[in-house]
A and B are shown apart, each in its own frame.
Chain A
Amino acid sequence: MKIAIPVNDKSMEASVCDSFGRTPYYLIYDTESNESVFLDNSAVASQGGAGIKAAQTVVDNKVNALLTPRCGENAAEVIKAANIQLYKTINDSLKDNIDAFNEGKLSLLEEIHAGFHGHGGR
């Protein structure tokens, strides 16, 4: 199974990024082959719609699940339309979250925020 996680650096020691749409990188991880690929997030400096563009990257990489601490409504709509499962991370450690995912211990991300849309939240 292929999973995507927003990360702050291109390393397995990196922390999980708090933002899905504006994260600097994504880890695309294959849970069967343990293969990891780090992608730049081209949406990081978007004027608007970063969540949509970021979600597009995740969709185009044909992952089965996205592990993230938070997700905005537009990004969630793209992710769900592509039938990708959305899970909530448990802490900021990549390893802990991958292990928890493999053991089936992650819960689905239910809380979708309204997005920040350049206004710092509402």
Chain B
Amino acid sequence: MKIAVLSGKGGTGKTLISVNLAASAKESIYIDCDVEEPNGHLFFKPENIQSEEISIKVPTVDEKLCNGCRKCIDFCKFNALAYIINKPKVFNEVCHSCGGCVLFCPEKALSEKEIIIGEIQSGISENVAVLTGILNAGEKSGIPIIKKLLKDTHENKFTFIDCPPGSACIVMDSIKDADYCILVAEPTLFGVHNLNMVYELVKLFNKPHGAVLNKCMEGENPSEKFCLEKDIKIIGKIPFEQELGTLNSKALVLVRQNNKYRDMFSSLLQIVTKEVQI
């Protein structure tokens, strides 16, 4: 069972919710897909860490073999190649690693080389297997890391996917195989705008989904109003309180510290499990 946790902006509570849901399950996998700034590991402090480098393939040119036919340049719809003063030039960060230019080169002047863009760290934190995707600073896209992170997940285990913020390609890849999406929302007008972004995304992908309202306070909650208007099921509410904030700011897993929070997330996990089985 794969459950993705997403929101339209950072700091909404994706990590709080995915970390604590994963810790509430008897046995689970937590996957941090926020590869530009992964932070779930700060809470889990996993042990026995194994690292695996992630690389992508980009073309490289043997200038002696190139006859200037430009088949590679015409083929590349991402325009990752240019032909300047009798030699092709490759823009690695524009390349999508499709390998087409190498296939089309009649002179075999192009070949593929691997460049490392980041790594995946896996470790154990009590009942949770923790997988962390890390994109190296300056790299343009973390999607190859996310594809690899989500490739080897077990179907029969609870898997929680902590998504990157927003609704761009990198989030689409993170939720692609999810059985259920949890939309995390803040109780502000800006929060509604961000909630709508991810709501439109999960609708587009036809994913079963529900909302968790985070940082709930007394008075009107614009995100709650939005959920009622759009008929989005509210599966949980998390209060805006100092005790929770203090534990979280100390990078502690709430459910491992306090029975009140254990009960809160256990019942949220039950609701999510039921929703997935419907």
Q: Which residue of B lies closest to A75 (CB)?
A: B82
| A-contacting 9-mer, from B6-14, B34-42, B84-92, B249-257 | B84-92
Give CA–CA (A44, B91) in the complex, Å. 19
Contact A56 B73 (CB under 8 A): yes
Residues of B within 8 A of A78 (CB): 82, 84, 89
User: Mask for A8-47, Cβ within 8 A of B = 1, else 0?
Assistant: 0000000000000000000000000000000000010011
A55 in contact (CB, < 8 A): yes
Give CA–CA (A83, B84) in the complex, Å. 10
Pick from B78, B79, B80 the residue with the most CB of A within 10 Å: B79
Chain A count of residues within 8 A CB distance of the other chain: 19
Distance in Å: Cβ of A116 to nearest Cβ of chain B: 13
Q: Which residue of B lies closest to A59 (CB)?
A: B84
Residues of B within 8 A of A43 (CB): 79
B26 in contact (CB, < 8 A): no
B83 in contact (CB, < 8 A): yes
Residue B78 contacts which of A47, A77, A81 (CB distance < 8 angstroms)? A47
B77 in contact (CB, < 8 A): yes
Residues of B within 8 A of A81 (CB): 84-85, 89
B94 in contact (CB, < 8 A): yes
Contact B84 A82 (CB under 8 A): yes
For chain B, the bracket of interface size reads: 10 to 19
Residue A74 contacts which of B76, B77, B84, B94 (CB distance < 8 angstroms)? B94
A50 in contact (CB, < 8 A): yes
Q: Which residue of B lies closest to A117 (CB)?
A: B140
Distance in Å: Cβ of A63 to nearest Cβ of chain B: 13
A52 in contact (CB, < 8 A): yes
Query: Taking A74-B94, A78-B89, A81-B89 as contacts, is the C-beta distance between A52 and B77 under 8 angstroms?
Result: no
Give CA–CA (A74, B79) in the complex, Å. 10
Pick from B77, B80, B84, B89 the residue with the most CB of A within 10 Å: B84
Residue B79 contacts which of A49, A77, A82 (CB distance < 8 angstroms)? A49
Query: Taking A74-B91, A81-B89 as contacts, is the C-beta distance between A48 and B78 under 8 angstroms?
Result: yes
Residues of B within 8 A of A70 (CB): none
Contact A53 B84 (CB under 8 A): no
Distance in Å: Cβ of B146 to nearest Cβ of chain A: 18
Distance in Å: Cβ of A78 to nearest Cβ of chain B: 5
Residue A55 contacts which of B77, B82, B94, B168 (CB distance < 8 angstroms)? B82
User: Mask for B130-156, Cβ within 8 A of A = 1, else 0?
Assistant: 000000000010000000000000000
7 contacts between A and B (CB under 8 A): A43-B79, A46-B79, A47-B78, A56-B83, A78-B82, A78-B89, A117-B140
The 3 residue pairs across chains A and B that have the minimum distance between CB atoms: A49-B79, A53-B79, A52-B79
Q: Mark A residues whose CB is within 8 Å of B.
A: 43, 46-50, 52-53, 55-56, 59, 74, 77-78, 81-83, 117, 119
Known: A81-B84, A81-B85. 10 other contacts (CB 8 A): A49-B78, A49-B91, A50-B79, A52-B79, A52-B80, A74-B91, A77-B89, A82-B84, A82-B85, A83-B85
